[in-house]
Structure 1
C-alpha cells in the first residue's frame, strides 16, 4: 500500500474514532453507522480525485459535493425523484427544514437528546465536514500534524456536550487515531530522510526503522500518561464545558430526561421489532380497550407538536385533578404495570385519567402538571419498574357529549385553540367541508373521525415522518400516513373548528395473555388526538384507520338522537375495511377492533403471492452494486484482453503469435512487454534501467525460475535485444509459448493468495490509470489551448485597433522639440 493510500485510510480511521465521543449525545447509537458510511465515501472520493490530473484544491470541493448529495439522500429521500434515488429541488428544501428543526431541538433538549432527524443530520453532517477537513489537510496537502486541529475540535465539542456522560475511552480512541495518522506520515518522511543521509546502511540502530520505533514508543507513553495522570491530580469544579447529568428543569431542580415520546414514536413505527416492552393487568371491564398514555403535547408551532411549558415539579404520588372533569359517577380502576428490560427511557405509561401512582421511588420522576405526565428525572428510571395506577373509568355517551357546553373556559381556549400563522389553506377548507351540517362539537369531531377512518385514507408507515404544516398538506393530498399524521391533522382541524385539542402519545391496548394480563410491544406505539369537552375533560378520539380501538362514545348509535332518521347510522369501525369479522380462530374480538386481524390476513395473502417487484430504492441499490462489481473487474478484464492481444489466441494471427513469415518488431516488443507485465503482476516490479538480458536475469533470479522457464525468458530477452540493437532482427520462432512458460514458472513459487491477487488485481493494471490520466491531461490541455485560441480570435482585433491608436512617444517628442 502506498503512503498516500495509508494516509487516506488512517485519516478516515482517525475521524471515525474521534466521532465516537458524540455517541452519548443521543439516546440511540444507530446514527454512528450512517456517519461511518459518510466518512468512508468521503475518503474514497478523495482517493479517486487525487488520482486524476485535476488541481489539488478541487479535491475537497468534490468531497463536499458528494457529502451534500449523501445528506440529501439520507435525510430528504422522501422528496427525491425516480424512486427516492435522485435528489431534486424539493429535497434541498426538505433538508433545510430538517436542519432547522434540528437547531430547534438543540435549544429544546438536554443530553441525551432524542434521535430525531434534525439532530442526526447535524451530527452526521458535522462528522462528514470533519472528515473532509482531515482528509484535505493530511492527505491532499500532506500536513498530518495540522489535521489534529479539526479532530480536536470534534472531540472537544462532543466530550464537552456529553459532560459526565463522557468517558476516558473517547479520548483514548481519538488520540489513538491521531497517533496512527502521524506514524503513517512520519514513517514515510523518516525513511526518505534515512536514505539520503545514511545510504544503504539500514540495519544499524540509528536507521530510520529505529527512529520510527522510537516515535511509536514516545507516542504510546504520552497517551498512557495522558490517561493515567488525571487520576492523581485534584479535581476542580465545573469548567466551561462541564455539565451535570441533565439540565435542571422546572421548579423541582432535578434533571429531567429529554426523551420526547413523539420522537420515540416516529422512530419506532417504521420498523418495529415486535418485542414485548411491558405487561399490565386490570380488573376493569374496559381493560382490553385501555390506552396507556405516556404524555401529551399541547403546542403546535407549524413544524411540530411540543410541550408549551417545560416546567415540572417533584412527584409526590398523587396527580392533579383531571382538567375539565365534572362530578361524574365513574368507578375507580386500578392497573398494575410491569416494565421489562427493553424499555430504557420513556415517560411513564398509565391510563387516563389517573389519580395516583404508587412508585418505588417518587424522586426519580417529575410531574408535568398541565398534561398529568410523569417524566423520568434519572437515567433508566423506568427499566424494570413495577407500579400501580389508580384512576377513573370514565365512560361518557355520545348523547352526553352532544349536550356538553359548546364553549370552554378562557384558560382552555387561549391555550388549546391556538393555530400557527401560515397554515396551508387546504387544512381549514377541508375541516369546514367535512363537517358541513354538523351543529355541535361532538358531531363535527365524529364526522372528522369517520372521514379519516373511511376508505379514502390508507395507513402507511413509509411516508415522511414529520408532522408540520407542509407534511399536513401533503398528507391531505396523498391520503396516506401513519398515526402521527392522523392525530396531528385532526387536532389542528379541531382547533380550527373551535374544539380545544392536543396530541397524546402512548400505547394501544395490549394483547391478552390470559387472566386479565395484557402484553404491550413496540409495534403498539401510537398517537391520537385528545379533545376537550366541558364536564368530561380530555377524551381520546381515534382517527387512524386499522389501528387502535374506538371508544364506545365514538359510536353515535349509543344515543338515539345522534343522526337524522333519514340517514343510516354507521356501525363502529365499519369504515375500516380490515376490521370486518374474521373467520380466523386466533382472532378474538379485541384483535378485530385493533385491526391486527387485518394484518394477519394481509400477511397470509402475501404468502401466496409468487413474485413482487422490488422497490425503486432496492433496484437502485442493485444497480449501484453491479456498477461497483463491474469496476472491480476492470483491472482483471483489461489485463486479460491485453494479454490476448499481445500473445494471440484462438488461432488468429496476433502479435507474438505464430506466422509463416516470422515476427515483426512490434510482435517481439509486445511479447517482451507481456513478460515484464506478467513478472510485475507476480511480485517483480519492472526496472527500466536494465537491458533486456539483465532484466530477464533479474526476473529468473528473483522469481527462482527453473531451467526451462529461465531459458524461455532469456530467449524473449535475446529477441528483444536483436530488435532494439541489431540492423535486421529476422525472428522466425513465435515467442508466445516462451512468455507463457516463464509466467508459469513465476506462478509456481507463489501461494494461492498471491496468484489470486495477480489475476483479480494485477499491479500492471496501473498502466490503465496512467493512460486515463494522460488522456484527461491531454484533453484538458487541448481544451485550454482551444479556449485560448478562441479568446485570442475574439480579442485580437480589439488589441490591434488599440495598438494602432496608441501614440508613439518618440516621434511625438521630436515634433514638439
Structure 2
C-alpha cells in the first residue's frame, strides 16, 4: 500500500474513532453507521480525485460536493427520485426543512435526544465535514499534525455535550486514531531520507519505520492524557437542558428529560416486543376499554406533532380541573401501577383525565398542566416505579357529544391552527368524507369510519412520519400504522375547525384476572383526541384492527339534526371488525389487533404488496446495477478496442483487407497482441524489439508451435513497418492475432483468464488517455489564459517599462 493510500485509510479511521464520542447524544446509536458510510465515501472520493490530474485545492471541493449529494440521498427522500438514489428538484428544499427541524430539536431536547431526522442530519453532516477537513490536511496537503485540531474540536464538542455520559474510552479511541495517522506520516518522512545509520551490528538494516522510541513517546503521551482527567474537575454540560421539549418551566426546580413521543413510539411499533412493560389494576367496570395515556401533542408545524408551549410545574397533590370538562363531580376510578425494568425513558402512563398521582419521589416528576402530561426529570425515574392513580370516569354518550355546544374561540384558535403550507388535499379529502355530516361529532365519526374502512391497511413497514409529506403519502397509498392514522385524522379534523390533538400511550392491557392487566410492547399506540365543550378531550380510534372503539361511537342514538348519522355510525362500527380467528383459543385482544386471523388471509394480505413497489428494493437494485455497470467499463472498452483493431475492411486499422495492409493496420495488430499478453499476466516491455518481445511472450507463456509461429509473423511484419523501406504486408495478421491469443489463453490459469475478461490490466490505457486529455486541456487553458492576461496587461507593462527607461520624461 502506498503512503498516500495509508494516510487516506488512517485519516478516515481517526475521524471514525473520534466521532464515537457523539454516540451518547441520541437515544439510539444506529446513526453512527450512516456517519461511517459518509466517512468512507468521502475518503474514497478524495483518493480518486487525487489520482486525477487536478489541482490540489479542487479535491476538498469535490469531496464537499460528494458529501452534499450523500446528505440529499440520505435525508431528502421526499424530493428524490429512482428509489431515493437520485436527488430530485425538491431535494434541496426538503433537506433544508429537515435541517431546520433539527435546529428546533436542539432547542427542545436534552441529552440523550430522540433520533429525529433533523438531529441525525446535523450529526452526520458534522462528521462528514470533519472527515473532509482531516483528509484535506493529512492527505492532500500532507500535514498530519495539524489534522489533530479538527479531531480535537470534534471530540471536545461531543464530549462536552455528553456531559456525565462522556467516557475516557472516547478520548482513548480518538487519540489512538490520531497517533496512528502521525506514525504513518512519520514513517513516510523518515523513509524519504534513505537508509538511516543507527550504529547497529553489521547486517542490520533500517526499514524506514518510526523508531521504537517514537512509538514509546506516543503511547506514554496517550497514557498520561487518559490518567490526567482523573485529577481534574469534571466539566458538567448538556444540550440545552432547560425546559421540556422547549417548554419553559415555571416553578420547576430542574429540567425534564428529552423525549419525542412519536419518534420513540414509531421505533417501538416497528419492532414490537412481547415483554411486559407494566402491570396495573383498575376498579372500573370499563377497564378493558381504558387507554393509558403518556402524553398529548397539541402543536403541528407541518413537520411533526409536538408538545406545545404549556407551563411545566412541580407535580401538585391534586391536578387542576380537566380542560373543557363541565361537571367535575363524575365518578372516580383508582388504580395501582407497577412498571417493569423493561420500560425506560417514558412519560408516566395514566388513564385520562387523572386527578392525582401518588409517587415515591415527587421531585423526580413535572406536570404540563395543559395536556396533563407527567414528565420525569431523570431517564431512570420510571424504571421499576410503583405508583397509585385517581382518575375521572367520564362517559359521554353519542347524543351528548352530538348536541355539545361549540368550543370557545380561544380553544378553537389554538387547537385548529395549521401550517400555511399544509397540502390542499388534506382539507379537500376531509370535506369529501364528512359531506353528509353536520355536527362536529358526526364529522369525527365519519372520519374514523373512513379510516377503519376496507380501503386502508395497517402496515408497520411504511416509513414513519407525521409531517405534510407523510400525510399526503398516507392519503395516497392508504397504508400505515397508528401514528399515520392518528396524525392524519387530527390534521383533517383541524381543517374542519374541530379542535384536535394527538395522544400517545398504550392500548388496554391483557386481562390477567381480578381486574389486573398487563401491558406489553405490542400495545404502544397513538390516537387522536377531539375537544367537545362540556366533556373536554375525547378519544377516537381511526386505526383499523388496533385498539378499542369508544362506546360513544358505537352505540346508536336518536339523531337530533342529521338523518344520515345512524348509518355512518353503523358502518364505522362494523368496518374494523377483524376476520374470525381460525383457532378457538385465540385471545380476544389478539383477535381485535388482527394477530390471529387464518393463514390463508394472512398470506393473501402479504401478497398484496409486490416487492417491485418497495422503494428500498428499487433503490438497492439501482445501486447494484450502477456498480455492475461501472465494473464492466473495462470489459466493454477492451472488447470494443479489439473489435476495431481486428475488424475486416480497409477502413479498419487491423483488418486483413482485400489487398495489402497499411502501416496503421499492422501496428494495430501488433498492439492487440501486446495487450492480449498483458491481460494474461505478461506486461509489455518497450525496451525490446518486436522480435525479442515475441520471443519473450512465447517463452513466458510456453506457446505451442502454431501460436508461436503466429506471434513471430506479427513481429516480422511490425519490424518491416518500423525499420524496412515502404512496402505492403499481405498476410492475414488478424488471424495470426487470434491464433496467438488463443495460445495465450490455453496456457493461462482460470483466474488469469477471468481477470483478462472482467478487469483486463491493459484497460489502464483508458485512464491514461483520459488523464492525458485532461492535462492537455489544462495546458491549453493555461496558454489561453496567459495570452488573454498578456493582451490585457501588456500595454500597461509597456508604459511602465518606458517610464523606467526614460525617468526624466
Asked whether the two chains share a fold, i.e. TM above 0.5, the reply is yes
Match of 1:297 in 2: 297
Cα distance change, pair 399–595 in 1 and its aligned pair in 2 (3 A) = farther
Cα distance change, pair 286–97 in 1 and its aligned pair in 2 (3 A) = same
Task: Kindly indicate whether the alpha-carbon contact (under 8 Å) linking 2:442 and 2:565 is maintained by their aligned counterparts in 1.
Answer: no
Cα distance change, pair 69–755 in 1 and its aligned pair in 2 (3 A) = same
Give the drift of 1:25: 0.9
Task: Kindly indicate whether the alpha-carbon contact (under 8 Å) linking 1:424 and 1:470 is maintained by their aligned counterparts in 2.
Answer: no
Task: Kindly indicate whether the alpha-carbon contact (under 8 Å) linking 1:281 and 1:335 is maintained by their aligned counterparts in 2.
Answer: yes
Give the drift of 1:362: 3.7
Cα distance change, pair 372–773 in 1 and its aligned pair in 2 (3 A) = same
After superposition, the C-alpha distances for 1:516-546 in whole angstroms (9 at most, x for unaligned) are: 6655444543222222334433221123344
Residue pairs, 1:317-336, within 5 angstroms: 319-325=319-325, 326-336=327-337
After superposition, the C-alpha distances for 1:731-788 in whole angstroms (9 at most, x for unaligned) are: xxx999999999999x99xxx9999999987877655533443355456667999999
Match of 1:3 in 2: 3
What TM-score do the two structures reach when normalised by structure 1? 0.77
Secondary structure in structure 1 of the residue aligned to 2:277: strand
Asked if residue 167 in structure 1 is aligned to residue 176 in structure 2, the reply is: no
- How far apart, in 1, do the equivalents of 2:234 and 2:588 lie? 61
Match of 1:253 in 2: 253
Cα distance change, pair 562–187 in 1 and its aligned pair in 2 (3 A) = farther
Asked if residue 445 in structure 1 is aligned to residue 444 in structure 2, the reply is: yes
Task: Kindly indicate whether the alpha-carbon contact (under 8 Å) linking 1:546 and 1:579 is maintained by their aligned counterparts in 2.
Answer: yes
Task: Kindly indicate whether the alpha-carbon contact (under 8 Å) linking 1:294 and 1:506 is maintained by their aligned counterparts in 2.
Answer: yes
Give the drift of 1:97: 1.0
Match of 1:41 in 2: 41
Match of 1:229 in 2: 228
Give the drift of 1:256: 1.7
- How far apart, in 2, do the equivalents of 1:743 and 1:203 lie? 48
Match of 1:99 in 2: 99
Asked if residue 528 in structure 1 is aligned to residue 527 in structure 2, the reply is: yes
- How far apart, in 2, do the equivalents of 1:397 and 1:418 lie? 24
After superposition, the C-alpha distances for 1:609-649 in whole angstroms (9 at most, x for unaligned) are: 898536344133124224424545666898999999999xx
Secondary structure in structure 1 of the residue aligned to 2:344: coil
- How far apart, in 1, do the equivalents of 2:628 and 2:559 lie? 70
Cα distance change, pair 223–425 in 1 and its aligned pair in 2 (3 A) = closer
Residue pairs, 1:683-698, within 5 angstroms: none
Give the drift of 1:368: 2.5
Give the drift of 1:24: 0.9
Secondary structure in structure 2 of the residue aligned to 1:569: helix
- How far apart, in 1, do the equivalents of 2:543 and 2:447 lie? 11
Task: Kindly indicate whether the alpha-carbon contact (under 8 Å) linking 2:507 and 2:525 is maintained by their aligned counterparts in 1.
Answer: yes
Match of 2:14 in 1: 14
Cα distance change, pair 321–602 in 1 and its aligned pair in 2 (3 A) = farther
- How far apart, in 2, do the equivalents of 1:465 and 1:193 lie? 59
- How far apart, in 2, do the equivalents of 1:778 and 1:351 lie? 77
Give the drift of 1:23: 0.7
Secondary structure in structure 2 of the residue aligned to 1:264: helix
Task: Kindly indicate whether the alpha-carbon contact (under 8 Å) linking 1:531 and 1:538 is maintained by their aligned counterparts in 2.
Answer: yes
Match of 1:215 in 2: 214
- How far apart, in 2, do the equivalents of 1:599 and 1:154 lie? 55
Secondary structure in structure 2 of the residue aligned to 1:538: strand
Residue pairs, 1:110-509, within 5 angstroms: 110-194=110-194, 207=206, 209=208, 211-231=210-230, 234-236=231-233, 238=235, 242-243=237-238, 246-247=241-242, 250=249, 251-269=251-269, 271-276=270-275, 278-282=277-281, 284-309=284-309, 311-315=311-315, 319-325=319-325, 326-341=327-342, 343-408=343-408, 413=411, 416-417=414-415, 419-420=417-418, 422=420, 424=422, 426=424, 435=434, 438=437, 440-454=439-453, 457=456, 459=458, 465-468=464-467, 472=471, 482-495=481-494, 499-509=498-508
Task: Kindly indicate whether the alpha-carbon contact (under 8 Å) linking 1:293 and 1:349 is maintained by their aligned counterparts in 2.
Answer: yes
- How far apart, in 2, do the equivalents of 1:135 and 1:585 lie? 62
Task: Kindly indicate whether the alpha-carbon contact (under 8 Å) linking 2:99 and 2:122 is maintained by their aligned counterparts in 1.
Answer: yes
Cα distance change, pair 172–643 in 1 and its aligned pair in 2 (3 A) = farther
Task: Kindly indicate whether the alpha-carbon contact (under 8 Å) linking 2:416 and 2:498 is maintained by their aligned counterparts in 1.
Answer: no
Unpaired stretches in structure 1, ≥5 consecutive residues: 648-653, 656-663, 810-817
Match of 1:58 in 2: 58
Match of 1:815 in 2: none
- How far apart, in 2, do the equivalents of 1:535 and 1:388 lie? 27
| Aligned pair partner of 1:585 in 577, 583, 586 | 583
Match of 2:767 in 1: 769
Match of 1:812 in 2: none
- How far apart, in 2, do the equivalents of 1:36 and 1:624 lie? 18
Give the drift of 1:22: 0.9
Give the drift of 1:118: 0.7
Number of residue pairs matched?
771
